[in-house]
Amino acid sequence: MSRPPEANERWDVPISALEHYAYCPRQAVLIWQEAYFESSIDTVRGDLAHAAVDRGGTLTGRAGATIWRSLPVHNRELGMHGICDTVHWTAAGPVPVEHKSGTYKPGGAADLQVAAQVLCLREMFAEDVPHGELFAGRSRRHYRIDVDEILTHTVHDAVEQLRQAVVADALPSAVNDNRCVRCSLRPGCVPETAHHRPVDLFLPRSLGDWND
């Protein structure tokens, strides 16, 4: 994890933090500013799914394409960096492929992560990288993510919004919805306090009413 930013510096944003922010701003700040993280069955499953690509190196894929694993990438204009799980060098140019252990939801947070990788490759190699891909472990399928002008602007906006969020005086509000059900950060996030009157977390709870 990179060092949390100071208020007067331009933080070089990790691409994985963008995905966290797109999924839940409060989650992103807890991880990247407060350095709070808890493992769960889902995070462990993701770590195991990444074991092969995390080894790095190159290999030969289908149709003779060269595949780079764990390729470090950056975009100096936006000020962001990260690691592509794999980059497939095709006749049309490099295509980043993000590997996920679960399912793929079009328009979700993973689209932003893949788009950021595409923008990094465009700057690094001066190549026209029109799209990236996401490999979903549950369906064993590749999904194409086209990085057009709209998605590019979304990445730009998210980078700046995340920079502002991590130096703000308060955490983003808790969402307290379906995203919280399996979130490993729930114990420290305490989403149940959202949209309710202030709660004293140190006040013992009532034992309840007893009908003797």
CATH assignment of the domain containing 131:
3.90.320
Is the per-residue pLDDT at 65 higher than 80?
no
Average pLDDT over residues 175-191: 87
Is the per-residue pLDDT at 123 higher than 90?
yes
Please count the structural domains in the chain.
1
Domain presence at residue 61:
yes
Is the per-residue pLDDT at 131 higher than 80?
yes
Count the Cβ atoms, other than its own, within 10 Å of residue 89: 17
Which residue range(s) make up the domain with 44? Answer: 13-193
pLDDT at 47: 54
pLDDT at 113: 96
More confident residue, 183 or 154: 154
**Could you give the CA distance from residue 157 to residue 135 in angstroms, rounded to a whole number?**
25
Domain presence at residue 52:
yes
| pTM check: above 0.75 | yes
Residue with tokens 């100096």: 76
* pLDDT cut 90: percent of the chain above it: 51
Average pLDDT over residues 112-135: 93
pLDDT at 186: 87
Domain presence at residue 1:
no
pLDDT at 93: 86
More confident residue, 173 or 62: 173
Domain presence at residue 6:
no
pLDDT at 181: 85
Domain presence at residue 204:
no
Contacting residues for 180 by C-beta, under 8 A, at least 6 apart:
174, 186, 189, 191
**Could you give the CA distance from residue 109 to residue 112 in angstroms, rounded to a whole number?**
5
122 within 8 A of 109, measured Cβ to Cβ: no
Among 1-10, 99-108, 139-148, 172-181, whose mean pLDDT is lowest?
1-10
Among 19-33, 34-48, 79-93, whose mean pLDDT is lowest?
34-48
Domain presence at residue 203:
no
Here the tokens at position 195 are 């949209």
Average pLDDT over residues 104-112: 94
Domain presence at residue 201:
no
Which of 55-69, 143-157, 190-204 has the highest average model confidence (pLDDT)?
Answer: 143-157
Please report which helix (H) or strand (E) contains residue 83, including its range. strand 80-90
Domain presence at residue 8:
no
